Structures are given as structure tokens and as C-alpha cells.
Chain A
């Protein structure tokens, strides 16, 4: 993001980043889920 970017473009970029982070966090949680699953189902 540069100083020359307009407010609208900055908002769009922020919004893009926000959606991407939400999706990324979902992916990360899913990646960790096998370990949770293992703990609950296999060991206990």
C-alpha cells in the first residue's frame, strides 16, 4: 500500500486482506483439527 493509493483503493485492499485472513485462519484451524481428533477419538 503506497501513499498515492486512494482511500477507496486502500479500503478495497484492507477488505481483501480481511477476507483472506479469515479464510487463512479457517485453513489453519482445519490443519490442526487432526491432532484434536486424534486426542479425542484415538487416545481417549
Chain B
């Protein structure tokens, strides 16, 4: 399906100018690299916003009793922290990398639908404003209870809370539209815009990862949008979709939410798995072990991820048959994920490994994400889950899944591609300090939460019994150190953007091994229009 644009076909007026100047370059941008940069900057801002909320939560939990915020505001912070980290940090950062890298990797001149690409991005700041407003509106008298539902937005509580919920619903609508448009664009680009000779099975793993991510988003985001729209109707238009008194069913919302929510985990994970598929062969100086099986495993993950959602709802009283099905399906997921991890380990086996910052993150991801996989299997088992449900054990599990699995993958990607994006090498020493700082403080924060959870500490509650003080204080100290490490991350990025050692076109000597993309054939930083002549892949 790949199509070709020859240089002679291109409109010379439109394709041989430099970047526009001033704010118009960014506001009206249809350039995949500029839009990618905007996504990445947006994600960085959201990282600090969501991180500040996490700091407030951990400051409050340093001691039992009420210290800094009231219970409703606390639960609102928990809600917005999750939504900001998922929709504001991980998804935009992954979309930023996709925008930057996919056209360059597959040899396309730009994304398939550049104007839609612009719109996908610019919906995000609007959504973020609505999201932050949903937190701030509670300080205006008469606007009702804050959004204290948690990110799952379960009714009946979400039908009863104040104006903040409406703003949040509209924010979710915008985020959904933005994600769906970005996904349509990415999938279309991958299907239609590959350079001659770049067959699907020659694409870098990162492109495959985003192909499945895009398809997943197209299938799941509309369900969330539909669900929250029904919630909006229940709140304001007299319907009873989720109200048992009117013939509805609140559990239906849980099914709709988790039909979105569980595959969303893979939406967050897959781009990082794609980054691992680029980083590990590069620094092992060996082709990826089992490239084709890795693609198939991602396909299995895509398919299985869509049919196991109700393992988040074991406690609602489903039939034995349903719980057994969801339990078996969930445990099955460990097979493709475990095999992927074996593939990455075998890629490293007997390779000429070096340990630059992206590789350190890749190894840490394998170790810590596997740990999350183990606690995940524990949670998948119904009788055990009935004990762990809504405890800090779950909080520890999903932070181990999502911070190494998604966020560290993005850090690995940032350090791996920063020389390509900026034309400068980052400070390797500072990169390594950042790696050790984040990894150690992350474990200090979340490892103790397994124990407080197993001892019975409930999640999403501002106060706790004094028996959990030690674990919580260790967590809070770890969290502040973890938060602080990101100032160093920001410093490294600013320093690299401003200057430093010039990066060659191929900054990593192992970058061309295996199934690389065409990004390394371009200079660092790449020109404003990547490929004026379509590259040939042999």
C-alpha cells in the first residue's frame, strides 16, 4: 500500500522554504517535527503539574490525620494526578515521539494528514485548561463538591458531585477527540506513507508499537467518550443510564470505563516497548532477537488487552463463569509480555554491551516491569484480588507497571533521540546521575506501598491508621527525592537544547544494526523537511 512521491512531483514553492518564524510557526504548524516538539513540551509541563499534585498527596500522607488539604480536595488531587499523568504526560509524550520519529523512520515527507495533526495537538492545551479548571472551580462558592471520584469517575458519586465533573467530562471529550485524530493520522501514515522498499516487516519496532497503539486508541477512546457522555446525560438531562432507581445500572459504567481503561494500560506501555526495541539492539550491538515474534507478541497483547477488562471489577459480584474467564484471560497476558522480555534479554546476551543512559533505563525497565508483572499475576487471581482490592498493594502494582513500563521508556527514548532532535549530545554523566537518582527514589517511594497494602491500608483515603506511619514516611521521602530528580531532567534537556558537543547523523555506533529506521540517514538535527528525495530501502 506504500505510495511514492517523486521529487519532480512536489510543488517546489511549498517544499523548499525554511521554517516560518514567530508564533505562526507553532500555531499553524503542519510540520511533524514542530508538532512533535510541542507535544513533548506539553508533556513536560504536565509532568511537573501532575508531579506537584503527587507531592501534595505524599506531603499529606507523611503523617496520619489531616495536615494540608481537606478530604475532598485530597481525592480531587488523586483524580487529577492520575488523569494528568495518563492523558497529559504519557500519551502526549509518546505521541510527540511518534510525530518526530515515525515519518523519519519510514522515509515519509511528513504525517499523512498534517492539518489534522495540528488540530490533534491544539486540542490538548484546551483540554488541559478544562482539566485544571475542574480542580480550581471548587474554590468558587456554590459549585458543589469537588471531583472526588478518582480517575475512574464511577457513578453514583460522579453523578452527585459539582460543576468540576462537567468540566472534567468536557476535558475527556477533547482528550478523546485529540487521541483519536492523532491515532488515525499515525495509522494512516504507517499504512500509506512508507518509502519504497520499506515493507511492514522492515519497519522499526517503535513504528509497529505505535501501529498497534493507534489501533487500540481508535477502538477504546470512543467507548470512554460514550460512557462519560451518558454520565453527562444522567447528571443534567434526566436519564438513568447508571441509576438503579430509574432502571439503569451503575456497574455498566464500570464495564464501559474499564473496556477503555485496561487497554489504555497497553496504550501507555506499547510505545515504550517500541523504544526498548530500538535502544537494546543499539547498545548491545546485536540485531533484535526475534523481531517477527516481537511484532506478533505485540499483536497478541493488543488482542488480549481488549478482552480482559473486568479483572478491575472482581468485587462487583460477577458470575463465576465471568470471573473465571477474566482471570484466565488476564493470566494469559503474561505469556506475550514474558516472551517479549525474554526477547530483549536474548538480544543483550553475548552482545558488546555499553551502558549509556538510555540502555540503563532499558535494563531497569526490564527488571522493574517484570516485578509489576509478578504482582499483576497476583492481582489477576480472583480470591487473592478480593483481599488486595482497593489497597495500597494495587497502587504499588500499577505505579511499578506505569512508571518503569511507560515513563522510564519515554526517558530512554528522550535520551536516545535527544542528539537527533537537538543536534547536540546530552551530558552523559548527568544522564547517569539522573538515572540512578530516579530509579532509587522510585523504588524507595513505591516498594514500601506493597507492604502497607498487604497490611490493609486502603487507597484514596486521606487518613490512615498509625500502624502504617513508617511505610508512608519512607514513601513520602522517596517521592520528594523522585520529584526533585526531575529538575535535573529539565536541566539536562535545556542544556542539550542550548548547546554541547555536536551530534553526528548517527550518534550511536550500534544504531544501524538489525531493523533500524531511516532516521539515522538524516543529519542531526534533521532539516525542516525531512526527505525531499524519497529514500530507497534495500
Contact = CB atoms under 8 A, between A and B. Distances in A.
Interface string B106-133: 0000001100100000000000000000
B184 A6 contact: no
Given A16-B113, A20-B188, A30-B222, A38 B241 contact: yes
Contact of A19 (B5, B11, B188, B252): B188
A34 B247 contact: no
Contacts of A34: 223, 226-227, 230, 256
A22 to B, nearest CB: 9
B184 A42 contact: no
A27 B221 contact: yes
Interface in A1-44: 2, 4-6, 8-9, 11-12, 15-17, 19-20, 23-24, 26-28, 30-35, 37-38, 41-43
B5 A8 contact: yes
A24 B222 CA distance: 10
A35 B248 CA distance: 12
Contact of A35 (B116, B187, B226, B249): B226
Contacts of A8: 3-6, 9
A20 B184 contact: yes
A7 to B, nearest CB: 8
Contacts of A38: 230, 241, 252
B218 A19 contact: no
Given A2-B11, A8-B3, A8-B9, A31 B188 contact: no
Contact of A26 (B5, B116, B185, B219): B219
A17 B222 CA distance: 20
Which DSSP category, helix, strand, loop or mixed, fits chain A's interface? helix
Given A9-B10, A23-B187, A33 B249 contact: no
Interface centre among A20, A24, A34 (most CB of B within 10 A): A34
B226 A19 contact: no
Nearest to B11: A4
A16 B223 contact: no
Contacts of B230: 34-35, 38
Contact of A33 (B116, B188, B226): B226
B176 to A, nearest CB: 9
Nearest to B12: A4
A11 B219 contact: no
Given A8-B3, A30-B218, A16 B192 contact: yes
B188 A30 contact: no
Contacts of A33: 222-223, 226
A31 B226 contact: yes
B173 to A, nearest CB: 11
B3 A12 contact: yes
Contacts of A11: 3
Contacts of A23: 183-184, 187-188, 218
B513 interface: no
A3 B191 CA distance: 26
B169 interface: no
Nearest to B221: A27
Contacts of A17: 113
Contact of A12 (B5, B180, B220, B222): B5
Name which of B192, B193, B227 has the most chain A CB atoms within 10 A of its CB: B192
B225 interface: yes
B187 A19 contact: yes
Contacts of A32: 222, 226
A43 to B, nearest CB: 7
Interface of A: 2, 4-6, 8-9, 11-12, 15-17, 19-20, 23-24, 26-28, 30-35, 37-38, 41-43
Given A9-B10, A16-B193, 10 more contacts: A8-B4, A8-B6, A11-B3, A12-B3, A15-B3, A15-B192, A16-B113, A34-B223, A35-B230, A38-B241
10 contacts: A16-B113, A16-B188, A26-B219, A27-B184, A30-B219, A30-B220, A31-B223, A35-B230, A37-B256, A43-B247
Nearest 5 interchain pairs by C-beta: A31-B222, A6-B9, A34-B226, A16-B112, A30-B222
